[in-house]
């Protein structure tokens, strides 16, 4: 299927690895021009180098960074059609999962909201004047199934993602009539560095359950989370949905939340 993204300009945050990297690769394959945003690049992102890809190093927790990113995208490619707010998860220095409510400090809450909500608010604010000039504008926010599945863990992360979902609905109501669609993709557990890197979620759960880290990813975590498919999702499976929502092929889809979660979310 031709997603009709050839020549379109997209910003993708959290672009150096995992879901963001898969989104960048997919959009490039569809002929889009991509501004990839991350604190630093990486070998996998560098391997995609070409005339349609620009990496902008930025820390989105810096309030000035989102506007600078958007300005750079417009400077290089002359406009903006797609914004993928993928950066999120544990802010620097935090490791998820975190169990219980009482151990969380005000600083924990502030950092989590800064990264998962306020950075998105600022990026959208900076991007909208340019997106409103596009004839097929799209914003795709990458949220989490945990936004709709409260649990006695990751309180700060879960509530920040719930706020992100609410934000997307409101933005869609205001701006879809003006030609900017806003949708959400909510992954469940995805086999990314968040799980696989040393000290990541697999190691945290291994310590809590007594299983080894590979068993956690292959069987323990899917069983704990009642994943219908029996496995963690892959980054490309999320990226495919993001690309479809970014595409003019989804011209009548806005204000929606798509679960790509291996059957994690059981609620209607």
Catalytic residues, by residue number, are 157
Strand 33-38 relative to strand 82-85, pairing: unpaired
Task: Give yes or no for a contact between 138 and 180, defined as CB atoms under 8 angstroms apart.
Answer: yes
At what angle are helices 18-29 and 235-246 packed, to 10 degrees? 50
∠ CA 135-24-160, nearest 5°, is 85
What DSSP state is assigned to residue 91? P
49 Cβ contact list (under 8 Å, min separation 6) = none
């Amino acid at each position: 299927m031709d997603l009709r993204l050839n020549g379109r300009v997209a910003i993708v945050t959290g672009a150096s690895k995992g879901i963001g990297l898969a989104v960048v690769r997919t959009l490039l394959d569809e002929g889009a021009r991509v501004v990839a945003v991350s604190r630093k690049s990486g070998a996998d992102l560098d391997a995609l180098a070409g005339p349609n890809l620009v990496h902008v190093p930025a820390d989105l927790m810096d309030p000035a960074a989102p506007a600078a990113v958007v300005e750079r995208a417009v400077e290089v490619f002359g406009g903006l059609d797609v914004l993928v707010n993928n950066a999120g998860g544990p802010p620097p220095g935090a490791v998820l999962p975190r169990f219980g409510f009482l151990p969380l400090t005000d600083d924990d809450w502030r950092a989590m909201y800064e990264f998962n909500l306020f950075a998105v608010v600022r990026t959208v604010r900076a991007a909208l004047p340019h997106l409103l000039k596009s004839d097929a504008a799209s914003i795709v926010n990458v949220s989490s199934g945990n936004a709709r599945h409260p649990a006695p863990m990751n309180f700060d992360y879960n509530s920040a993602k719930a706020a992100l979902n609410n934000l997307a609905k409101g933005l869609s109501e205001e701006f879809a009539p003006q030609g900017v669609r806003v949708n959400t993709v909510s992954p469940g557990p995805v086999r990314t560095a968040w799980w696989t890197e040393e000290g990541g979620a697999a190691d945290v759960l291994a310590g809590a359950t007594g299983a080894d880290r590979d068993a956690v990813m292959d069987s323990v975590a899917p069983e704990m989370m009642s994943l219908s498919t029996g496995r963690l999702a892959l980054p490309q499976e999320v990226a495919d949905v993001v690309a479809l929502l970014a595409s003019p092929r989804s011209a009548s889809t806005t204000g929606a939340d798509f679960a790509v979660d291996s059957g994690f979310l059981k609620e209607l």
